[in-house]
Amino acid sequence: MTVMAEHTPTAAAAPMSGADILVEALIRHGVDTVFAYPGGASMPIHQSLTKVAGRLRTILPRHEQGGGFMAHGYARATGRASVCMSTSGPGATNFVTCLADAKMDSIPMIAITGQVSTTVLGNDAFQETPMVEICRGITKHHYLVTRTEDLTRIVKEAFHVATTGRPGPIIIDVCKDVQIRKVVPDWDAPMDLPGYRPMRKARRAELEQVVAAIRASKKPFIYAGGGVTHSGAAAELKEFAELTGIPVGLTVHGLGNFPADHYLCLQMLGMHGTVYSNYAINDADLLLALGVRFDDRVTGKLSEFAKHGKIVHVDIDQSEIHKNKFAHVPVHGDLRAALADLNALLREDANADLTGGGRYTDWWRQIDEWRAGEPLRFQETDRAIIPQYAIKRLWEILRDRGQLDDTIITTGVGQHQMWAAQFFHFNRPRKWITSGGLGTMGFGLPSALGAKVAFPDNLVIDIDGDGSFLMNVQELATAYAEKIPAKVLLLNNQHLGMVMQWEDRFFGSNRAHTYLGAGEDHDPYPDFVKIAEGFGVPAREVSDKGDLDAALVEMIESPGPFVLNVHVPHQEHVLPMIPSGMTVKDIIKA
């Protein structure tokens, strides 16, 4: 939750422009950085931003979507509400994908957009778009500001709604005349959110049902997701798993919330999860679903998913409970508080038989057999750099250098994203930043810049694919101009790899516009080293396995932004794979 920052009060009863009020309100809510691209309908706000340069940093992206995904990186790395800004019309609509992504992944982000003046609203004025109507279904809340007097209240509400309960994005669409008009701001204006009660604490009676379900279980399984991140419940999850000795499987957004090197961790589950985590969740007689939404990339065929056992579902968002799978034990409440109370309950003398380990010897014997027999694997080569190998070597080098726990990894979307989830192991939350629910290509580079701004002392690396990287490659200019030293490990296979994989598996390898090169005479194409250098960013390319380690170290140690273009074969597939809409029985291993 955003903490109110100390501030120097403005002169008593002095009128201020709406733009000045808006900027001051952001500072009062602890905002230290905004990602903002100006235009006609937002010019007054940008003029106000120049007055507070020492108190609030404004970063100029090279595309509004880039700025929106920088805000994602900042929010996902910190857990605090981030802010991005644009003008009206096309500037504002360039935020739509960012807002939809934030809604799917529960990211607290506030998008402030300029809007035409109130006198011409609805008249199809120059660069007018009805942003509230466009974004109604992809934001947690939305505002069209037509009165300057409402700004202080609206900003206060926006931060409260974005960061409480299940986090989510807010859009504040501010008419231009509202930005210009001067009023005396009411900094103590109360919020007006009737019916909004985002926080609930699970009752003891609900948690006692969970304990009873654990007692009756012989093959329990913890299915933990992004809700663990948002509630800050990683420590409580670890304590709960260690108290009970129950195995833990993680969604793509759950990675890092339970240490990957822990014996109880079965790594990622779902479509490209480990074989053993999917086998375990399929055979479990009790599924403890913690902060998850039973996404189709985890469940596959919904009617067949976890049908052998009882389901406990704990979530802050009541609308998620029973939405996709019926929960035999529904627990509506904050996950961190629920796990803390559950751990306290388990420590009571009456429940001593449930703690200390040893209850699930047969279950763990089976899991260990699966784990030993079906590890994640790939075929090594003599000279070619296999993408899985490149990611694994990056992880090993950082581990050996003692930099692993402080490194933040972002990704684009595609094969490289899933390989990163499989072969780069996380032991801490908020070190893994990726677009999950919406799966947005172009996410990796700008989100890395946002994370690096939030944590300038941490190493931040975007593991990307050539298709995703090209979608927001212009943000290399932001990295250079704003001196943001994020790195890019570019796994370049000249193809839209994940779509190509589906072509190979289900369409007879018929290539339907998934080749990104320009023919053999120009292969490889484009020249990413020249592109990066054109933006002023150092770059290197490698294609021989023997050169990879030195190149990775050069990238890690480079003082500024850096692009490492690694040529990898396009024939590799992300395995294992449960085809969409199918079951564990249909898992593809080779």
Please provide residue 539's backbone torsions phi and psi, each rounded to the nearest 5 degrees. Answer: -150, 160
| Residue 585 maps to a domain | no
Please provide residue 417's backbone torsions phi and psi, each rounded to the nearest 5 degrees. Answer: -60, -45
| Residue 583 maps to a domain | no
Percent of the chain with pLDDT over 70: 98
Do 339 and 469 lie in one domain? The reply is no
- Domain containing 119 equals 16-183
Mean pLDDT value across the chain: 96
Do 369 and 465 lie in one domain? The reply is no
Q: Can you give the pLDDT at residue 356?
A: 83
* Digit-coded pLDDT (tens) for 236-265: 999 999 999 999 999 999 999 999 999 999
35-44, 348-357, 366-375, 473-482: least confident range: 348-357
Considering 127, 209, 318, 474, which one is annotated as catalytic?
A: 127
Separation between Cα atoms, residue 36 and residue 27, nearest integer Å: 15
Q: Can you give the pLDDT at residue 523?
A: 78
Separation between Cα atoms, residue 375 and residue 362, nearest integer Å: 20
pLDDT bin (cut points 50, 70, 90) of residue 521 is confident
Domain with 480 in it: what CATH number? 3.40.50.970
| Residue 546 maps to a domain | yes
199 in active site: no
Peptide bond into 61 cis (omega under 30): no
User: Can you say how many angstroms the Cα of residue 12 is from the centroid of all Cα atoms in its chain?
Assistant: 42
Q: What is the number of domains present in the chain?
A: 3
422 in active site: no
Task: Report CA-CA distances (Å) from 326 to 24, 135, 297, 311, 319.
Answer: 47, 30, 18, 7, 12
Do 223 and 304 lie in one domain? The reply is yes
| Residue 511 maps to a domain | yes
126 in active site: yes
Do 118 and 173 lie in one domain? The reply is yes
Query: Is 80 exceeded by the pLDDT of residue 420?
Result: yes
Q: Give the number of C-alpha atoms closer than 13 A to the C-alpha of residue 397, restricted to the C-beta side.
A: 16
128 in active site: no
Do 162 and 237 lie in one domain? The reply is no
Considering 1, 4, 51, 126, which one is annotated as catalytic?
A: 126
Do 144 and 216 lie in one domain? The reply is no
Pairing of β 170-175 and β 310-315: unpaired
Quote the tokens at residue 270: 């779902």
Separation between Cα atoms, residue 94 and residue 474, nearest integer Å: 15
| Residue 194 maps to a domain | no
Considering 24, 64, 128, 541, which one is annotated as catalytic?
A: 64
Q: Can you give the pLDDT at residue 5?
A: 45
Do 80 and 161 lie in one domain? The reply is yes
Candidates 70, 1, 56; CA nearest to 454 is 70
User: Can you say how many angstroms the Cα of residue 477 is from the centroid of all Cα atoms in its chain?
Assistant: 23
Do 281 and 419 lie in one domain? The reply is no
- Find the helix packing angle between 361-373 and 275-283, rounded to 10°: 150
Residues 6+ apart with CB under 8 A from 144: 115, 131, 132, 173, 175
| Residue 197 maps to a domain | no
Considering 70, 104, 131, 498, which one is annotated as catalytic?
A: 498
| Residue 348 maps to a domain | yes
Do 292 and 332 lie in one domain? The reply is yes
- pLDDT greater at residue 576 or residue 3: 576
Considering 176, 325, 431, 452, which one is annotated as catalytic?
A: 176
304 in active site: no
Do 541 and 435 lie in one domain? The reply is yes
| Residue 357 maps to a domain | yes
Do 306 and 214 lie in one domain? The reply is yes
Domain with 296 in it: what CATH number? 3.40.50.1220
Query: Is 90 exceeded by the pLDDT of residue 308?
Result: no
pLDDT bin (cut points 50, 70, 90) of residue 12 is low
Do 140 and 231 lie in one domain? The reply is no
Query: Is 90 exceeded by the pLDDT of residue 4?
Result: no
